[in-house]
């Protein structure tokens, strides 16, 4: 058990960095702006709001477009969730690193 705790204490400080890298990866997979531009829907900036994405899913009849928007919305939610987890684990990992 002691060996496992030593292993965990060596890995734990890298957890926020890993979560941040995963969050950035999901943000890069979110191509919602490109989807809107392909359908000739003009957007003001590259960060399309979730509400606009949901409205487009409700009011569009193209099933392929809807499925792509749903995937982009999932990626956006994963991005936000992982960023929150990274922000939560950062102070915890710093405290555990300096108390070690």
74 is a domain residue = yes
Reported confidence tier of residue 100, pLDDT bands at 50, 70, 90 = low
Between CA 66 and CA 53 the distance in angstroms is 9
2 is a domain residue = no
5 is a domain residue = no
78 is a domain residue = yes
Quick check: 52 and 46 in contact, CB under 8 A? no
94 is a domain residue = no
Confidence at residue 96, expressed as pLDDT on a 0 to 100 scale: 75
67 is a domain residue = yes
95 is a domain residue = no
Find the domain containing 21 and state its range: 17-89
Q: Look at the block and give the residue holding tokens 């995937």.
A: 71
pLDDT digits (tens, 9 = 90+) for 19-56: 999 999 998 888 787 777 777 776 777 778 788 888 88
- Range 55-74 average pLDDT: 87
Confidence at residue 34, expressed as pLDDT on a 0 to 100 scale: 79
Number of domains in the chain: 1
Provide the whole-model pTM: 0.79
């Amino acid at each position: 058990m002691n060996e496992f705790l030593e292993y965990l204490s060596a890995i734990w400080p890298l957890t926020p960095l890993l979560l941040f890298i995963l969050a950035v990866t999901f943000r890069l997979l979110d191509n919602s702006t490109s989807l809107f531009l392909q359908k000739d829907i003009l957007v003001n900036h590259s960060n399309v709001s979730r509400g606009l994405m949901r409205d487009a899913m409700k009011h569009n009849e193209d099933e392929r477009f809807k499925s792509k928007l749903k995937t982009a919305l999932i990626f956006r939610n994963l991005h936000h969730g992982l960023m929150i987890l990274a922000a939560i684990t950062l102070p915890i990992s710093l405290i555990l690193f300096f108390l070690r």
